[in-house]
Amino acid sequence: MTPDPRKVAILISGRGSNMRALVEKAEGYEVTLVASNRPSAPGLAWAEERGIETWSEDSRGQDRADFDKRLGDRLEESGAGTIALAGFMRILGPDFIRRFEGRMLNIHPSLLPKYKGLDTHARALEAGDAEHGCSVHVVTEELDAGEVVAQARVPVTDSDTIGTLEAKVLIEEHKLYPQALARFAAR
């Protein structure tokens, strides 16, 4: 199947609230597959209930290249020309990244290039930042380092905790990602 950039496969590992926002606000693109490296990811059941095709396989203890190959084959089979990582918490190997180069987006809970990796809200609080936020970026081999295509900011207040900050940023993620994905899919 020739990949169509307006057909989107979403990769999740857990809750899948960003995936839900991408499905519910899909305009100018169509979600053809939701895939996960965790068969118990709650987001999978939500997608299935809505008649969206799903694929999952537990990646724990698996050879990275083998897992990536099976996932990549399934993504190609779905006809998706764009892949949206949405809380996908497994590192993808270089062969996978090259296979889908320039066609993958990720949402990250920080104002990149600040706070790549994990614990972004705690790190923003610890640093005493006046603002924090989220970024949508193109996925490249270097973690959280690809071109940033969209960002949203939230103020950090004295009363903020990791939990309140996470909640504020998540609201922005759900608005930002569908818009950024629609633009990326139409490029």
Active site residues: 108
127, 171 contact by CB (below 8 A):
no
Nearest approach, Cβ of residue 109 and ligand GAR (Å) = 4
Residue nearest to ligand GAR (CB): 87
Helix axes 17-24, 162-185, angle to 10 degrees: 40
Nearest distance from residue 74's CB to ligand GAR, in Å? 20
When the beta carbons of 18 and 59 are compared against ligand GAR, the nearer one is 18
Q: Which is nearer to ligand GAR, 79 or 140 (CB)?
A: 140
Rounded distance between C-alpha atoms, residue 47 and residue 14, angstroms = 12
Interface ranges with ligand GAR (CB under 6 A):
12, 14-18, 86-87, 107-109, 170, 173
Q: How far is the CB of 103 from ligand GAR (least distance, A)?
A: 18
Strands (E) across the chain are located at: 4-12, 30-36, 54-56, 80-85, 104-108, 131-138, 148-155
Two tokens, residue 98: 């090259």
